Amino acid sequence: MPAFHLVDAFTAAAFRGNRAGVVLLERGPVDASLAQAVAAEVGASETAFLHPEGDDWRLRWWTPTTEVDLCGHATLAAAHVLVGEALAPSTDRLRFHTRSGELTATPDASGRLWLDLPAWPVAVHPAPDRLSGLLGGVAGRYVGRTTVAQANDVVEVADVAALDAVAPDLSAVAALGSGGLIVTSPGGRTEVAMRYFAPALGVDEDPATGSAACTVAPLWAGRLGRSELVIEQRSERGGQLWTRVGADRVEVGGHAVTTIRGELLATSR
């Protein structure tokens, strides 16, 4: 039976950060219908399915309602499982083949895993109507929309107090026509803070979001004039993401903790 792990990502403590299911298959291809059913059953923001592909791994991700192009926290969770189960050397770079191209994960001496992900910069886009209503009455500035298929709208608010006060109209967020809404601000305990809402993808608020860091890190790196930033995700569970910004890539680092290990008993629909 395929091994199943539930992993808390972008946290060093159990029951915080972002939960990801990880299903480790002996061989591919992934049965997409089964994967979607399992992801809905697990109920985490994303469930990752991976299997060996030569010396590398094939990796795909599902939310409870749809397959997505990129998921940072479930990639971190998958790498954590491979290292923890001694299926990959703890010092080697792991390579994943995905819908977003080749991604890698590299452990460091501190216990973090570093993901090499594509940068998703924000571009000018018409602002939605009633922005303050979209944010639950909090004033914000519309920054734009990312120019990828799994696009996100980006809004900046004044500070972490305003960020914490955001209570979005989820039906309005789902109607934006993008994958989700990133709300960001200058940080309190870190350089930058953010939250992420993706009801159109079946995730009302994501606790810790590696793909959002692919937008937030380049945005603030340019403003602050520095390539290395720590992002605090101020969700209820919280999360901390270390980032290094390159020309068209973002390295996103974090810890992960396995909370549940078992087997996937249902292997067909």
Residue 206 φ/ψ, nearest 5 degrees: -85, 130
The reply to whether 74 falls in a domain is yes
Residues with a known catalytic role: 46
Q: What is the CATH number of the domain that holds 127?
A: 3.10.310.10
- Are residues 148 and 188 located together in one domain of the fold? yes
- Are residues 25 and 140 located together in one domain of the fold? no
Contact by Cβ (8 Å): 48, 87 = no
- Are residues 11 and 74 located together in one domain of the fold? yes
Domain of residue 72: give its range. Answer: 3-100+254-263
For residue 29, is the peptide bond before it cis, meaning its omega torsion is within 30 degrees of 0? Answer: yes
- Are residues 194 and 259 located together in one domain of the fold? no
- Are residues 34 and 80 located together in one domain of the fold? yes
Instruction: Report, in angstroms and rounded to the nearest whole number, the Rg of the chain calculated over CA atoms.
Output: 18
DSSP output for 6-27: EEEES-SSTT-SEEEEEEE-SS
- Are residues 79 and 168 located together in one domain of the fold? no
Confidence (pLDDT) at 108: 92
Confidence (pLDDT) at 90: 61
- Are residues 44 and 153 located together in one domain of the fold? no
Residue 108 φ/ψ, nearest 5 degrees: -120, 180
The reply to whether 29 falls in a domain is yes
Percentage of the residues of the chain whose pLDDT score is greater than 90 = 92
- Are residues 258 and 215 located together in one domain of the fold? no
Residue 266 neighbours by CB under 8 Å, 6+ apart: 34, 38
Tens digit of pLDDT for each residue in 49-81?
999 999 899 999 999 999 999 999 999 999 999
Confidence (pLDDT) at 91: 66
The reply to whether 108 falls in a domain is no
Residue 81 neighbours by CB under 8 Å, 6+ apart: 5, 7, 22, 24, 87, 258
Q: What is the DSSP letter of 179?
A: S
- Are residues 79 and 129 located together in one domain of the fold? no
The reply to whether 111 falls in a domain is no
Q: Give the residues of the chain that fall short of pLDDT 70.
A: 89-91
- Are residues 94 and 77 located together in one domain of the fold? yes
Number of domains in the chain: 2
